[in-house]
Amino acid sequence: MFGHQHPLSQKPASGKIIAGLNFFQLVVVLLGAKVSYELSKIIPAIPVKNFALAHIHHLIPLLLAFIAVFTKESKTGLPIAVYIYYLALFKSRKKTFVWRRS
């Protein structure tokens, strides 16, 4: 019993899956890519000779997904996507009123 030391547990891995993204970031970026792909099947290309400029508007959902994942809310420091998720949970919670609403 005496003299036995308990080893400290190691810190968990950072959780990076692909290209430095964690699971949540990867899911949001993949959803943005899927929406971009589906919109490219529905919305036609802009009539311009340059291929990149003709299809630039199809990348808007992917750009919004990257912004939601990599920008942080200033007060809490959470990524915008996580902040919006928690805000939606907060707004949709069951409200309990102590007084009578008249």
pTM of the predicted protein model: 0.64
Alpha-carbon dihedral 92, 94, 100, 102, rounded to 10 degrees: 30
Band (88; pLDDT cuts 50, 70, 90): very high
Of 35, 34, 15, residue with least CA distance to 25: 15
pLDDT tens digits, residue range 14-53?
A: 677 777 788 888 888 899 999 999 998 998 888 989 888 8
Domain ranges of the chain: 23-91
